[in-house]
């Protein structure tokens, strides 16, 4: 299917203007309502199963050329849900019906925590971006483990890989971070297909300092010591790191036999934005804490993907995330070196049919370029002469 064959998207023309109008609640309230609906759809009653089948027919696209095998896992397509949407894994059985090839649950922390004070989630429509300072609000690793184990005991088996994103509890001192991450991993390691060490969110005090070698090394060592199941372990980095800092992270990743890297998390930069003030608060955007996701970080994320691919000669799998709205955005990240791509903000702006449109576009791009599979497209533009820009 060619992307141009899609009918006009009712989400963008009708639903999104209504949802963004504020009549039905602020962004976080709408997120909770969406999660509650998805949680209901995740149940095993005949009505929900029937609706999931309808969703699959509407939102899914199957193309053998887009399938990949990575970490001994089958990915039916390269488009995944980024961490942050389904923090507590309440909709883990629905994401495949919405067309995703994999989904990442979390960020989850060892201790349950409410997150930062509200309001803490804001749309920036002028920039096609989101500002969030959620602060890892979640029910805790034990609750997620119990939920996933209960589903497993009832016979649930996900048709797509499920990753779990691990963060540090806010109450845990930085010097005890390794034990905190290891405790969460200990509870969950048999329940996720791959795991991500999140040391790059700007919304937990001091967390980004854990990207420094002397702080990160004991965390990775503790996790690999616990990793009896030999689950793929990845690290998620910030787009604001200097090139030397990224090189240091890559050296640690290789030393501790990490399975991959996720590039990138949200940015604390504000110079990329057109928005000057938050409508919800009236404050200057430069005065508002939090990380920016969406279109403003697209280019920086892709630049970092290309850098990592070059530095590792393509030997370290990369999940690219940041500013993906279209098939062209996904193609740019894949040809720069990303094996897989994640979306979140783009999905909020583009709607539930976005995944199918992106996959159709990728299939069409392979056909036009005469490339047999997406695997053959990974990194094909990574060595084009593009100078590095300062972080």
Show Cβ contacts of residue 372 under 8 Å, excluding neighbours closer than 6 positions.
65, 366
Residue with tokens 């955005």, as numbered in its chain: 329
Choosing from 201, 248, 301, 363, the catalytic residue is 201
As a whole number of Å, the CA-based R_g of the chain is 20
252's tokens: 């640690």
Q: How many other CB atoms sit within 10 Å of the CB of residue 76?
A: 22
- Quick check: is 201 catalytic? yes
Catalogue the active-site residues: 201
């Amino acid at each position: 299917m060619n992307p141009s064959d899609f009918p006009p998207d009712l989400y963008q023309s009708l639903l999104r203007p209504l949802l963004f109008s504020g009549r039905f609640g602020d962004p976080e309230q709408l997120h909770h309502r969406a999660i509650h609906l998805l949680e209901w759809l995740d149940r095993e009653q005949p009505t929900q199963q029937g609706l999931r089948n309808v969703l699959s027919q509407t939102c899914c696209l199957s193309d053998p050329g887009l399938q990949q095998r990575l970490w001994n896992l089958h990915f039916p397509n390269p488009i995944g849900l980024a961490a942050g949407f389904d923090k507590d894994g309440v909709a883990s059985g629905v994401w495949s019906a919405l067309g995703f090839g994999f989904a990442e649950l979390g960020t989850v922390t060892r201790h349950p925590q409410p997150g930062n004070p509200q309001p803490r989630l804001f749309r920036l429509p002028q920039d096609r971006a989101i500002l969030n300072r959620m602060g890892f609000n979640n029910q805790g690793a034990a609750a997620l483990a119990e939920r996933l184990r209960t589903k497993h005991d009832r016979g649930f088996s996900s048709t797509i890989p499920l990753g779990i994103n691990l963060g540090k509890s806010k109450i845990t001192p930085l010097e005890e971070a390794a034990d905190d991450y290891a405790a969460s991993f200990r509870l969950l390691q048999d329940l996720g297909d791959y795991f991500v060490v999140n040391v790059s969110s700007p919304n937990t005090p001091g967390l980004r300092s854990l990207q420094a070698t002397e702080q990160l090394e004991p965390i990775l060592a503790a996790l690999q010591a616990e990793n009896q199941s030999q689950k793929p372990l990845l690290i998620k980095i910030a787009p604001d790191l200097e090139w030397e800092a990224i090189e240091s992270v890559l050296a640690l990743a290789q030393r501790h036999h990490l399975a991959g890297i996720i590039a990138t998390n949200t940015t604390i930069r504000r110079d990329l934005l057109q928005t000057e003030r938050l409508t919800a608060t009236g404050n200057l955007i430069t005065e508002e804490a939090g990380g920016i996701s969406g279109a403003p970080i697209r280019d920086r994320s892709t630049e970092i993907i290309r850098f990592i691919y070059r530095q590792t000669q393509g030997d370290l799998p990369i999940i690219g995330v940041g500013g993906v709205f279209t098939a062209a955005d996904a193609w740019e990240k894949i040809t720069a070196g990303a094996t897989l791509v994640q979306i979140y903000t783009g999905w909020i702006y583009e709607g539930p049919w976005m995944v199918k449109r992106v996959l159709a576009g990728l299939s069409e791009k392979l056909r036009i370029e005469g490339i047999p599979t997406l695997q053959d497209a990974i990194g094909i533009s990574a060595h084009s002469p593009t100078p590095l820009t300062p972080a």
